[in-house]
Amino acid sequence: MLDCEQVEAAITGPFRGTLWEPFCEAIRRYGLIAPGDRVAVCISGGKDSMLLAKLMQLWQREAGHGVQVRYLVMDPGYNERNRRQVELNARHLGIPFELFESSIFEVSAAQEKNPCYLCAKMRRGTLYRHAQDMGCNKIALGHHFNDVIETTVMAMLYGGQLQAMAPKLQSKNFEGMALIRPLYLTHEEDIISWRDFCGLTFIQCACRLTERAASERGVSKRAEVKELLARLEAARPGTRQTVFEALHHLETETLPVAASFAQE
């Protein structure tokens, strides 16, 4: 396992083109961070949020003058092993995290209908509230390029919606708060390559409900879409990028909702 300094050198060295530059480009292209911002980086303990925390730390050193960054770990009900893994990784990577506890796993698991949706909604709201109490005006989440594509395809195939993840989103329920996704241009396979290169081990989804549901019902919808996109990518390289570009070039006047306003 590489130490903290070696991990940082990997990000700005061999992984500069695949991790550091896409991260900086996302901040620039989508205007994610501005001088005076106070950003709470939300760490779940997985590879994505841990990398995000490290990138934000490096970025603040090099370019983030006038921006305050805090590192927030919420324990929604992890078992002892997973919580310890999160804490050990954060310390190993030199991330000065602040941890607080909640009972979100317990509450959401008690719901028979849409427990995963409830869990995600509760986690988001709890993070907003805690970050706001800390004096922050933005929360940063570790969703990456692949999450954006998969969410878009899932919404179409299973939800009947044209919907994606925005790189920046103003909160409707927490005044003055916004959500940003600095890994918007970062590919999951590059995050995995960095993780393996550094010899790091992170937790997966730590929800016991998810583990039970997977064993009872088989592959999740997201896993199905991930597999579908992998097959399409193998048959036609660039498929994911094409979907991503489509999100930036939406012809709204061709959609049925705009038909009554269309003109020849």
3-state secondary structure the chain: CCCHHHHHHHHHCCCHHHHHHHHHHHHHHCCCCCCCCEEEEEECCCHHHHHHHHHHHHHHHHCCCCCEEEEEEEECCCCHHHHHHHHHHHHHCCCCEEEEECCHHHHHHCCCCCHHHHHHHHHHHHHHHHHHHCCCCEEECCCCHHHHHHHHHHHHHHHCCCCCCCCEEECCCCCCCEEECCCCCCCHHHHHHHHHHHCCCCCCCCCHHHHHHHHHHCCCHHHHHHHHHHHHHHHCCCHHHHHHHHHCCCCHHHCHHHHHHCCC
Per-residue pLDDT of the chain (264 residues; tens, 9 = 90+): 999 999 999 999 999 999 999 999 999 999 999 999 999 999 999 999 999 999 999 999 988 789 999 999 998 888 889 999 999 999 999 999 999 988 777 666 666 666 666 777 888 889 999 999 999 999 999 999 999 999 999 999 998 998 899 999 999 999 999 999 999 999 999 999 999 999 999 998 655 555 555 444 556 788 999 999 999 999 999 999 999 999 999 888 888 865 555 444
Q: Which CATH topology does 4-211 take? A: Rossmann fold (3.40.50)
User: What pLDDT is stored for residue 262 in this prediction?
Assistant: 46
Packing angle between helix 208-217 and helix 115-133, nearest 10 degrees? 160
Query: Which residues fall within 8 angstroms of residue 181, CB to CB, at 6 or more apart?
Result: 26, 32, 140, 141, 142, 143, 144, 165, 166, 167, 168
- Please tell me the pTM assigned to this model: 0.91
Nearest to 26 by CA among 148, 119, 127, 129: 148
The closest alpha carbon to 57, from 30, 37, 39, belongs to 39
**Domain range annotation of the chain:** 4-211
Structural contact between residues 143 and 183, judged by C-beta atoms closer than 8 angstroms: yes
pLDDT given at position 79: 84
Note the pLDDT of residue 97: 96
